[in-house]
Amino acid sequence: MNLLIKKASLIKTGPERLEVLDVLISGEEIKEIGQDILSPGASIIEAQGKILVLGLIDAHVHFREPGQEYKEDLRTGSFAAAAGGFTTVIAEPNTTPPIDTTVRLQRLLDRAKKKSLVNFYSKAAISRKMMGKSLTDISRLKEAGARAISDDGNPVPSQRLMRNALIKGKECGIPVTPHCEESGFYREEILRKQEKLGQRSSNPLMPYSSSGIPFTSEAGFIKRDVELAERTGASLHISHVSLAKSVEIIAEAKKRGVKVTAEATPHHLLLTEKMAKEIGPDAKVNPPLRSEEDVAAVKEGLARGIIDIIASDHAPHSAEEKSRPWDQAPFGVIGLETTLGLVLTFLVRPDILTLSQAIEKMTVIPARIFGLDVLGVGELKPDAKADLTLIDLDKKWKVDVNQFYSKGRNCPFNGWGLQGKAILTIVAGRIVAKDGTIVPELIYA
Ligand SMILES: [Zn+2]
Ligand SMILES: [Zn+2]
């Protein structure tokens, strides 16, 4: 059946403006965009005053399947995505076991076809078992559909391994997306090495690399990785940037022509370490929340295009895990059901980003970085796949974790008042969520 969206506002650029148009969807595709389209028998959606955009893409999520389905699974994760206005997600490979072979990747993608309401893509691990020791078979993983390679949750401690990953990534045309933060696992390893060598950094959070250069948590890794990307000519995408220093390094690298892109999360854009202490373990993330100056710098980097995309790093944990004391609670916050509202309320309303900038950072730019346009995610135009999100910019609502589809309740924004929400999520021509609620017949399907 045809679907006719009447009088929706479409974002046009150069100069940025809204144009009121009808959009006719037939089957899985956009059939026509124009004024006063007639389509007898089509089901009509009145969209006056609402913004129709390409389906939102979240390029960094953790759906925990396989292995930790008590935290989230492909179905509940995809429900959370659809409810939040996302039609496409790219999952991180740090599942149990990690996605480090083509068999595991294929099995995951097959399962997602059956269970996910939204388009589901996955990254694959950089190193086998994500142990940072030997490379996975990157070219075969790319052939099997991996959209990037990542050891998310852990940095890649070995410079040689990272260089080889970048060389392979360039050869196969797949971006490398490091998690630039010293994890507990890695910190201990570095400290053990230093002990052996008889050197000791005065600050255990600032260990020294094998070359004697201190890693200032993420910034040191980013510096190393952009230099390796520069030497190898590979594409590097930096996950969840959180420090002013990191923004500076990425800005300089971009100026030199390094093929580096970067992402920021709503929590690193809106919360500080001081707020994390007040909120408790629900705000415990890796990299951690930072100072006000860092938050301001990440925001400015986003506005200036140094940080290319917004991604949630949706990382669900069980209520029991997050109720542990701070030092024992796991890292991560959920984000799929709040990201759009937070971006519209705190970045677009105060004019930090224009509406089109914000939407591009959640649609065309991630699609370009991760090569999704070849799969039909692209411009709003006839014959394109009908992955669409209809947004009500005025809608006021309150974040309530108990209303979430995600199994996770670890949301540091619980209780916040927001303005702006996805009121319709359409995947391949099919309405999957209305006003933040999954279409009932799909829940039981
Ligand atoms: Zn990470
Ligand atoms: Zn992550």
The one catalytic residue in 294, 313, 387, 392 is 313
* Spatial CB neighbours of 231, under 8 Å, sequence gap ≥ 6: 163
Task: Using pLDDT thresholds of 50, 70 and 90, give the confidence band for residue 210.
Answer: very low
Q: What is the mean pLDDT of residues 9-20?
A: 92
Identify the CA nearest to 270 among candidates 250, 255, 285, 251.
Answer: 285
How far, in Å, from the CA of 170 to the mean position of ligand 1? 22
How far, in Å, from the CA of 235 to the mean position of ligand 1? 18
- Which numbered ligand comes closest to the C-alpha of 313? 2
How far, in Å, from the CA of 49 to the mean position of ligand 2? 35
pTM listed for this prediction:
0.94
Residue 366: what pLDDT? 97
Q: Taking 90 as the threshold, does the pLDDT of residue 163 lie above it?
A: yes
How far, in Å, from the CA of 328 to the mean position of ligand 1? 18
Task: Using pLDDT thresholds of 50, 70 and 90, give the confidence band for residue 9.
Answer: very high
Residue 380: what pLDDT? 81
Residue 384: what pLDDT? 87
Q: Taking 60 as the threshold, does the pLDDT of residue 215 lie above it?
A: no
Catalytic residue check, 36: no
Beta-ladder partners of 403: none
How far, in Å, from the CA of 286 to the mean position of ligand 1? 6
pLDDT digits (tens, 9 = 90+) for 218-254: 898 999 999 999 999 999 999 999 999 999 999 999 9
Residue 379: what pLDDT? 64
Is-contact 2 29, C-beta < 8 A? no
- Which numbered ligand comes closest to the C-alpha of 312? 2
Task: Using pLDDT thresholds of 50, 70 and 90, give the confidence band for residue 199.
Answer: low
Please list all protein residues whose beta carbon sits less than 5 angstroms from ligand 2, which is an ion: 92, 152, 313
Please list all protein residues whose beta carbon sits less than 5 angstroms from ligand 1, which is an ion: 152, 179
Residue entry with tokens 């017949």: 441
Q: What is the mean pLDDT of residues 29-55?
A: 96
Q: What is the mean pLDDT of residues 78-98?
A: 98
Residue 377: what pLDDT? 57
Q: Taking 70 as the threshold, does the pLDDT of residue 201 lie above it?
A: no
Specify the higher pLDDT residue, 376 or 380: 380
57: Cα within 13 Å, side-chain hemisphere: 26
Task: Using pLDDT thresholds of 50, 70 and 90, give the confidence band for residue 74.
Answer: very high
Cis upstream peptide for 66 (omega within 30°): yes
Give the DSSP letter string of 243-263. Answer: -HHHHHHHHHHHHTT--EEEE
How far, in Å, from the CA of 8 to the mean position of ligand 2? 34
How far, in Å, from the CA of 271 to the mean position of ligand 1? 17
How far, in Å, from the CA of 348 to the mean position of ligand 2? 25
pLDDT digits (tens, 9 = 90+) for 346-360: 999 999 999 999 999
